[in-house]
Amino acid sequence: MAKKVVTGLGKGLGALLGEGEYAVLAPNSSVRVKADTNTNIRIDSIDLNPGQPRTDFDPVALEELAQSIKTYGLIQPITVRPIEKGRYQLISGERRLRAAKLAGMTEIPAYVRSVDEIQSIQMALVENIQREDLNAIEIAVSYQRLLDECNLSQDELSEKVGKGKTTIVNYLRLLKLSKEVQIAVRDNTISMSHARVIVGFEDFEIQNKLLEEILKKNLSVHEAEALAKKIAKEVKPRRKIHVRLSDKVIAFKENFSKRIGSTVSIVKDAKGIGKITIPFKSDDELARIIETLSK
């Protein structure tokens, strides 16, 4: 009897679905076969996975893989899941799938996994995180998606992917960089250590200025840190200017405060960006506010 599919994340696909004992569904069939039995499915019946974090595929490397496939065949099957009307969604192996198309294949060996959409996203992200050729920005995006779409805490994510929490936090901070700096990290123009220096500034203009200096002068990480300290001393902290609320907003704030029985604060800046704050002093008070808002 096939082993029941394991739904927890782990350090790779093996930890997600067990080590070689999970079931494979043959195409257009409900019959389960052993996991080490490959089954061929038509390439034109496969849809790409929206959970795929990888965005860059080297065309030269793809062509080389395609030539290898023509000569030796596809050694490692892709992984898919059945969706509807005889179609499948790719879980992992997009590079292999692309190369197989280039090689002129119409069918491809595949493991077919009976998993839901969330499990598919988990599998695609975790499988790609383990790859050595995934760039730092793609890893950061993968971590963020696992947090957001799979409802994991940072501690849970650390345990699931086998990476220290500090490492994960350092990757997530890369998403606070400007587009220009993220591209430099993605393309390995600057190192992760350089990026950690740059991300110390929230202002994108300052980030880009520091990036420009690092590239122009070929600064080491130590030299970049010294420059960052110098820039920090020169930069005056921007004073936040709060705009006076309109009478309509003030009236809403007062009515809202009365409704929930708690003081409500509303602030915004000249750009219209702001926040609504509802303070509470205990779990009971929070529960009361939630109950009131739910009515």
Rounded Cα gap, residues 13 and 23, in angstroms: 14
Q: Does the active-site annotation cover 180?
A: no
Contact 223, 175 (CB under 8 A): no
The set of residues, in sequence order, having a beta carbon less than 8 Å from that of 121 and lying 6+ positions away, is 49, 51, 145, 149, 150
Residue keyed to tokens 């350092």? 170
Rounded Cα gap, residues 5 and 131, in angstroms: 23
- Give one DSSP letter per residue of 251-287, joined into a string: HHHHHHHHHHTS--EEEE-TTS-EEEE---SSHHHHH
Classify residue 16 by burial, with Cβ atoms within 10 Å: 0-12, 13-18, 19+.
Answer: buried
Catalytic residue among 21, 64, 84, 94: 94
Amino acid sitting at position 191: S
Give the residue numbers marked as catalytic.
94
